[in-house]
Homo-oligomer: A and B are copies of this chain.
């Protein structure tokens, strides 16, 4: 194998073609999260490239957060997490002042026709079925989120065979284990609106109280939409910070 093996557009620079090649290995699962990729020396031999070119390709994937380097150990496929999600900016602290993963409870789970908003978000056909899940998330005995979750039935049918009590507190590792679907990134949109009757009941606030609405579309490595989620939480405990330049 050598540089001519590198697919994609021949007009592209070598480091970008190598980058695409590595990205494909990650999204196909050939290189799995948490595991090391071949060493730089091996990559130079495999593709007959100079070390500088290989490093530049790796650099771009590190910059995009797909790989992490560790001097003396190797370069690893990063395990995606969602530390920068809006969720993290709700002040969910326990009595010791530490952040904590909220408890979850699935309240309903079933298959149905996808409403139009979900068809758009998940890029489905007009008649495709979806799995719908309603979930609440709690911390310190208090409900902090009420969630509506939609998944394409074609990829997630196996979830229907599992008792909702066994879903655990984190869904994405569960999706991976049960259905082989790996969430790599997400887009979130934040808005504020008054609580409707259902939401106010779920969050134990008065109807009309402002709630923060987080709309999330979770994507696979190859950018296929895997999950559409609408989460509503109290606005009074929300705090989000950015740096701009």
Contacts and interface: CB of A to CB of B under 8 A. Distances in A.
A210 B193 CA distance: 9
A242 B188 contact: yes
Given A63-B63, A210-B210, A191 B238 contact: yes
Q: Chain A contact residues: over half helix, strand or loop, or mixed?
A: strand
A64 B244 CA distance: 11
A65 B243 CA distance: 12
Contacts of A240: 189-191
Interface string A187-223: 1111111100000000000000010100000000000
A239 B185 contact: no
Contacts of A190: 238-242
Nearest to A194: B210
Contacts of A66: 245
B192 A245 contact: no
A85 B5 CA distance: 44
User: So how many copies of this chain end up in the complex?
Assistant: 2
Contacts of A236: 192-193
A192 B235 contact: yes
Nearest to A215: B241
Nearest to A243: B187
Interface in A70-100: 80, 82, 84-86
A90 to B, nearest CB: 11
Contact of A242 (B52, B63, B187, B239): B187
Contacts of A184: 245
A139 interface: no
Contacts of A243: 185-188
A194 B210 CA distance: 9
Contacts of A52: 52
Nearest to A190: B240
The 7 A-B pairs with the shortest beta carbon distances in the complex, nearest first, are A210-B210, A185-B245, A192-B235, A190-B240, A189-B241, A84-B244, A191-B239
13 contacts: A63-B63, A80-B245, A84-B242, A84-B244, A86-B242, A187-B244, A188-B243, A189-B239, A190-B238, A191-B240, A192-B210, A193-B236, A235-B235
Given A187-B244, A188-B242, 19 more contacts: A63-B63, A64-B245, A65-B245, A80-B245, A86-B242, A185-B243, A186-B243, A186-B244, A186-B245, A187-B242, A187-B243, A188-B241, A188-B243, A189-B240, A191-B238, A191-B239, A191-B240, A193-B236, A210-B235
